Structure 1
Amino acid sequence: MALRYIPMPDDDAERLRGSGLDAYGNHPEQRISDGAGVPCRHCLSNVDRGKPYLVLAYRPFTSVQAYAETGPIFLHADECPAHDGQSLPPILASSKEYLLRGYGSDDRIVYGTGGVVGVESLTERAEELLARADVAYVHVRSAKYNCYQCRIEIS
């Protein structure tokens, strides 16, 4: 099974870098990276030390509904290429564990799919979840803060 690691869409990244508002209707805050723990959700790489980045509220769903979680994320302030989707994103090697959660085609959490896994088991667990008929995609989230990292689908 080939997995695709889906970054924030180009349209969202461009809008937020421009004058666009985040999921809470605020302008993103600009900061300077210290080089540690600042994962961009568009290129799925860490923002280098000394480079500007944005902090904003993001909702990785197409509609507002009970399961459409919103939370803080980081984004390069300057344009960056979207992750290619084919390789394991660099940001997923920066922690020892992640929360994986399966969602149905209706964008609702599939109960019983959520759990924290070690980074060495991330791909295997994503494949297990995506093999289920009731799981359309998987979210990878921070195990400590529940921050959205990326979406995983079958290629």
Structure 2
Amino acid sequence: MFRIHALSAAQFQPLFDLSDDALAARDIRRVTADEANSFPCRVSLRDAEPGERLLLLAYEHHAVATPYRASGPIFVRQDAAEARPAIAEVPDQLRRRLLSVRAYGEGMMRIADVVEGHAVETLVAKFFARPDVDTLHVHFARYGCYACRITRAS
């Protein structure tokens, strides 16, 4: 069994109160979704609807003292409620995309593969069958952006 984890809304909400200039000074951009299924929020784990406002910012998703330390761009919807998927629940945002799943143990990448979102459970089970894997990171394969983290669940 596994659980998918969204990012915490609290760490991003204060940023929405900043001016565009203050955001730019932090390398953050305010954007408006202009197309359905194109702006995946990492807090709500759902795509923004056209017209919704988001922030586009760099996020350090793998803050470890190894060569695999990593960050990348993410979208966060304004006023997004933090998703809390049930055990083994895969949000539609992931089901509809080609995913890159990276398996880590002690901060080091142990194995990785690409899978269509509708079949992600099979790859998750394969990776968690390895004793040297403690967490998975999911990325949207086409753009390479971090999507979410997956841990074992009992």
TM range (shorter): 0.7 to 0.9
Please, what TM-score do these two structures have when normalized by structure 2?
0.84
C-alpha deviation, 1:33, in angstroms: 0.4
- Give 1:12's aligned residue: 11
Q: Superposition pairs for residues 27-38 of structure 1, below 5 Å?
A: 27-34=27-34, 35-38=36-39
State whether structure 2 residue 108 is matched by structure 1 residue 108: yes
- Give 1:79's aligned residue: 79
How many residue pairs get matched? 146
C-alpha deviation, 1:130, in angstroms: 1.4
2: CA distance between counterparts of 1:15 and 1:131? 40
Runs of 4+ deviating beyond 6 Å: none
Q: Which stretch shows the higher mean deviation, 41-50 or 122-131?
A: 122-131
1: CA distance between counterparts of 2:14 and 2:125? 32
For the aligned residue pairs, the C-alpha RMSD in angstroms reads: 2.1
1: CA distance between counterparts of 2:53 and 2:108? 34
2: CA distance between counterparts of 1:15 and 1:134? 37
- Give 1:55's aligned residue: 56
Which has a greater percent of strand?
A: 2
Match of 2:132 among 128, 134, 150: 134
Q: Look up the equivalent residue of 1:148 and give its one-letter code.
A: Y
Match of 2:146 among 145, 148, 153: 148
2: CA distance between counterparts of 1:129 and 1:17? 37
Please, what TM-score do these two structures have when normalized by structure 1?
0.83
Q: 1:103–1:16: structure 2 CA closer, same or farther, 3 Å change rule? A: farther
- Preserved CA contact (<8 Å) 1:46 1:90: no
